[in-house]
Amino acid sequence: MTGRAMDPLPAAAVGAAAEAEADEEEDPPAADQLTPQAIEPQAIVQQAAAPSRMQMPQGNPLLLSHTLQELLARDTVQVELIPEKKGLFLKHVEYEVSSQRFKSSVYRRYNDFVVFQEMLLHKFPYRMVPALPPKRMLGADREFIEARRRALKRFVNLVARHPLFSEDVVLKLFLSFSGSDVQNKLKESAQCIGDEFMNCKLATRAKDFLPADIQAQFAISRELIRNIYNSFHKLRDRAERIASRAIDNAADLLIFGKELSAIGSDTTPLPSWAALNSSTWGSLKQALKGLSVEFALLADKAAQQGKQEENDVVEKLNLFLDLLQSYKDLCERHEKGVLHKHQRALHKYSLMKRQMMSAAAQNREPESVEQLESRIVEQENAIQTMELRNYFSLYCLHQETQLIHVYLPLTSHILRAFVNSQIQGHKEMSKVWNDLRPKLSCLFAGPHSALTPPCSPPEDGLCPH
């Protein structure tokens, strides 16, 4: 982990004041230039060891008071496939998106999701906007389409349960607008106003609510969340394998039962030299013929367990991973957005100051000096705006970090679902095996049965009883 501050600002979300540095130089600032207010790694370690000093009044708006139950209760959105062939060659996939909260059901294409996400990033560049699954134009098989449907469902549910997104008009439009031009409606609703920084009353005061050691806190939190992500990624991979094995087991049991049934249904005449065992063969066939029913039931139980673990365990793990990934993306946007632009703006400001000093030393014309002074003032305003955005970015990141921790109890939901699935699955399959055992034991019953399996003598030559 690095000791850098976490960063929520996407490049596209920088306001008009930040556009002044669009033509600035790409060279890194010199050592003697002004630098952004950043904390060096050594300072971070020192601050992490010191108690946090909160610069926040009573009833601080920085703190979230939500619980996981409250977030999950905000809405439940279903996303179902509606394949429909349109045009001569291309087959497009539509989704029926149903919201419990808005009591709505609308049809959406993948591109509608794309515009929806873009508008969220435009309005909330400092928040955790989940990523979308990739779009594959050609050769999209059923497995890919189903995986994408699940990912879109996770995406829209995370958005619908976010404290800010859930109250925004963009979400309401996406979940309830039934017109054909939903993309234009989304763009109009998002672009007629600025981003969250421009509309939040507390944006210019964000610094007042941040802890004094905000940089150190986020550096530590970022490392923790990265570790959690790595562990949950491994858990998800194992859970996928467990569910997949259950489904593979179902297929094997079904084939096993069919082959037993095939033996029992064999009509090939018995050769004369095997006449002495004709009754044995007939009894065996009769017993095996009916076993396919039980094995089909076993296969069904195993398949049910696998599907249940896919839905209740793997999908919940994927949901949490999507949330953690959106947090990581948010940190990347912060670093590549606010901090980077702030640094470049300071670099440009330093160059302007040098030009000003040079012009004064060379006694240039008053007009050129005034123009340079005007540009310096504009750059100072741009730097001030970016500093305010940087603090607001950290303010939002502090809240989004809290939101991650609100979701952490989802771990217990996942474990409960996994344990219950295992208990229920083994219980139901055990009952079928127990019902099957009498049919199997009758094959080997009787003291004179030729079907009694021979005893494999141990090394001492004695047959165990």
State the Cα–Cα distance between residues 247 and 307, nearest whole angstrom: 7
Question: Contact, 264 vs 290, CB < 8 A?
Answer: yes
Q: Identify which has the larger pLDDT, 280 or 419.
A: 419
Residue 156, H or E segment: helix 142-160
Examine the pLDDT at 272 and tell me if it is beyond 70: yes
Mean pLDDT of 229-249: 96
Examine the pLDDT at 33 and tell me if it is beyond 70: no
Examine the pLDDT at 55 and tell me if it is beyond 60: no
Angle (CA) 238-243-245 rounded to 5° is: 95
| Cβ within 8 Å of residue 407, ≥6 positions away | 68, 71, 320, 323
Please provide the DSSP assignment of 70-86 as one string.
HHHHH--EEEEEEEEE-
Q: What is the pLDDT of residue 12?
A: 35
Angle (CA) 386-389-395 rounded to 5° is: 150
Domains annotated for the chain, with CATH where assigned, are: 68-199 (3.30.1520.10), 244-267+279-442 (1.20.1270)
- Report the share of the chain in percent with pLDDT over 90: 48
Q: How confident is the model over 129-169, as pLDDT tens digits?
A: 999 998 876 666 888 889 999 999 999 999 999 999 999 99
CA 226 to chain centroid: 14
Question: Contact, 123 vs 196, CB < 8 A?
Answer: yes
Q: What is the pLDDT of residue 85?
A: 57
Find the Cα–Cα–Cα–Cα dihedral 332, 336, 338, 340, rounded to 10°: 140
Examine the pLDDT at 2 and tell me if it is beyond 50: no
Q: What is the pLDDT of residue 273?
A: 73
Examine the pLDDT at 10 and tell me if it is beyond 70: no
- Report the share of the chain in percent with pLDDT over 70: 69
Helix, strand, coil percentages for the chain (3-state, nearest 5): 65, 5, 30
Q: How confident is the model over 336-364, as pLDDT tens digits?
A: 876 556 566 555 556 555 555 565 556 65
State the Cα–Cα distance between residues 89 and 99, nearest whole angstrom: 32
CA atoms within 13 A on the CB side of 362: 10
Could you tell me which residues are beta bridge partners of residue 80?
Answer: 96
In Å, the largest CA–CA distance within the chain is 124
Q: What is the pLDDT of residue 364?
A: 59
Q: What is the pLDDT of residue 195?
A: 87
Q: What is the pLDDT of residue 223?
A: 94
Examine the pLDDT at 66 and tell me if it is beyond 80: yes
Q: For the purposes of burial, counting CB atoms within 10 Å of the CB of 110, is it exposed (0-12), middle (13-18) or buried (19 or more)?
A: middle
Give me the sign of the Cα torsion angle 148, 146, 256, 429: positive
Angle (CA) 50-54-58 rounded to 5° is: 155
Mean pLDDT of 89-98: 81
Angle (CA) 54-60-62 rounded to 5° is: 85
Query: What's the pLDDT band for 34 if we cut at 50, 70, 90?
Result: very low
Mean of per-residue pLDDT scores for the chain: 78
Examine the pLDDT at 15 and tell me if it is beyond 50: no
Q: Identify which has the larger pLDDT, 465 or 158.
A: 158
Q: Identify which has the larger pLDDT, 400 or 136.
A: 400
- Looking at 86-100, 177-191, 395-409, which range is the least confident one? 86-100
Question: Contact, 224 vs 48, CB < 8 A?
Answer: no
State the Cα–Cα distance between residues 18 and 11, nearest whole angstrom: 10
State the Cα–Cα distance between residues 265 and 324, nearest whole angstrom: 56
